[in-house]
Amino acid sequence: MTIKRREFLAASAAAAGVAGLGIRPTFAQAEPTYKPESGASLRLLRWTPFVKGDEDAWVANTKKFTEATGVEVRIDKESWEDIRPKAAVAANVGSGPDLIMCWFDDAHQYPDKLVDLTELANYLGDKYGGWYDGLKGYASHGDTFIAMPLTTIGNAVVYRDTHVKAAGFSEFPKDTAGFLELCKAMKAKGTPAGFPHGKAVGDGNNYAHWLLWSHGGKMVDEGGKVTINSPETLASINYAKELYATFIPGTESWQDVNNNRAFLAGQVSLIANGVSVYYTAKNDPKLADIAKDIRTTNFPIGPVGKSVELFQTSSLLLFKHSKYPEAAKAYIKFMMEADQMNAWIQGSSAYCCQPLKAFAKNPIWTADPVHAPYALASEKLRPNGYAGPLGYASAATMADYVLVDMYAAAVTGQKSPEDAMKEAERRANRYYRI
């Protein structure tokens, strides 16, 4: 049967599968329809997947869109670290992919280069239980959606259960003091930990922000004044130095792929990662023993007394230089509807956490105990601009790795903790000009 474009777009075919997971649309927001331009084709740039099922499900959904509309979508991939500069170049030169999966609050660096997606975002939010605040903040400016919230890539402590027990711990420590003692004991047993101090857009930022926030530090205050030079930050740096002393050598140059590789090679027994490392082991017969031994948990609680974690997020950017904005909106709408979104969440095996609250009912979150620490990533995340507002300054400070570099310089001895803080303060003030 041939599906005509007008019928497809008006009816929103994806709604057919909503009831299957108990998601009942309210349709409070009028459903927008987007008619692809004649001869339209699209190019999407996405990050290289760490879970193959993520890419497979995304490609399968895209194929369904093309079959229904006739709009071809070319999907290109780049490493995690290369997405941010590629997006910045596209925004600045006014050419390149129509759509890019960006990181964190990158959209705030060039909002005037992006298509307003407010109508579509409000429709989706009303239909599927609302957006999670953290993801919405990354993709919106005031009441305007400058991007489409897409996903949170959860981050959790991943460890070898038998190695933790061999180090003398029957349970995983719940606080930072106990965590340090565990890392010391694991090093003594020859099964050390490893956390990235390199320019890793995901794992490096997640770890650095946890270090800072767990000790009560923050880059800026509520008014956007830089406050990184503080007793709390100093305490977090000194703690990081003690942890770093227990790590496998070389973590100061680690990017996002390195801790996966070291863990699966048996070089380390405790890392922080997405669920991807578990599924890599689970799908490789040679790594079956590691897969069975893997356990996951959230980062321990620091002196601040509560869980405070960053978590990687991604939004879809639609650039004004696109020749086919209506086709692009139709594509975004199709990919965000229930049939496609649920298929993607399930295909990614809990790697990609939903941006809309209704999809928290997806059965993938209870399918395996290893998934549990990732299930609430979208709900729990703290935006990187904390405690100030998100915007150009927060996005640029993260893109410049100000916080990551502060810890790296201090733990490796390149700078004293005090000098590392002063340098971070100086660099952040370049962007936060009050």
pLDDT digits 0-9 by tens, 188-217: 999 999 999 999 999 999 999 999 999 999
Closest CA to 229 of 399, 104, 389, 402: 402
Which of these CATH numbers, 3.40.190.10, 2.40.50.140, 2.40.110.10, 3.40.50.800, describes 156-310+400-429?
Answer: 3.40.190.10
Please list the residues that pair with 220 across neighbouring strands. Answer: 226
Burial of 203 (C-beta count, 10 Å sphere; 0-12/13-18/19+) = buried
**pTM for this predicted structure:** 0.91
For the packed helices 417-429 and 231-244, what is the interaxial angle rounded to 10 degrees?
A: 120
Please give the pLDDT value at position 29.
Answer: 64
Which of 1 and 126 is assigned the larger pLDDT? 126
Is it the case that residue 11 has pLDDT exceeding 90? no
How many C-beta neighbours within 10 Å does residue 191 have? 21
Residue 13 pLDDT class (50, 70, 90 cuts)? very low
Please give the pLDDT value at position 8.
Answer: 39
Q: Which CATH code is given to the segment(s) 5-154+312-380?
A: 3.40.190.10
Residue 19 pLDDT class (50, 70, 90 cuts)? very low
Q: What percent of the chain has pLDDT over 90?
A: 93
Mean of the per-residue pLDDT values for the chain? 93
Sign of CA dihedral 314, 139, 357, 206: positive
Residues 363-413 pLDDT 10s: 999 999 999 999 999 999 999 999 999 999 999 999 999 999 999 999 999
Residue 30 pLDDT class (50, 70, 90 cuts)? confident
Please list the residues that pair with 102 across neighbouring strands. Answer: 315
Sign of CA dihedral 9, 353, 375, 53: positive
Number of helices followed by number of strands (H, E) in the chain: 18, 11
Please give the pLDDT value at position 17.
Answer: 42
Range from 22-26, 53-57, 414-418 carrying the lowest mean pLDDT = 22-26
Sign of CA dihedral 82, 93, 102, 210: positive
DSSP state letter for 73: E
Closest CA to 50 of 199, 189, 217, 256: 256
Residue 3 pLDDT class (50, 70, 90 cuts)? very low
- Over its C-alpha atoms, the chain yields an Rg (Å, rounded) of 22
Residues 149-173 pLDDT 10s: 999 999 999 999 999 999 999 999 9
Is it the case that residue 56 has pLDDT exceeding 50? yes
Residues 279-294 pLDDT 10s: 999 999 999 999 999 9
Please give the pLDDT value at position 80.
Answer: 94
Burial of 400 (C-beta count, 10 Å sphere; 0-12/13-18/19+) = middle
Q: Where are the domains of the chain?
A: 5-154+312-380, 156-310+400-429
The answer, yes or no, to whether the previous bond of 387 is cis (omega within 30 of 0) is yes
Residue 202 and residue 208: Cα distance in Å, rounded? 10
Is it the case that residue 21 has pLDDT exceeding 80? no
How many C-beta neighbours within 10 Å does residue 267 have? 16
Element (DSSP H or E) covering residue 313? strand 312-318
How many C-beta neighbours within 10 Å does residue 366 have? 12
Is it the case that residue 24 has pLDDT exceeding 70? no
Please give the pLDDT value at position 28.
Answer: 55
Residue 432 and residue 224: Cα distance in Å, rounded? 7
Q: Are domains 5-154+312-380 and 156-310+400-429 of this chain identical in fold?
A: yes
The secondary structure of 336-394 as a DSSP string is HSHHHHHHHHHHTTTSEE-SBGGGGG-GGGGS-GGGGGGTTHHHH---TTTTS--SHHH
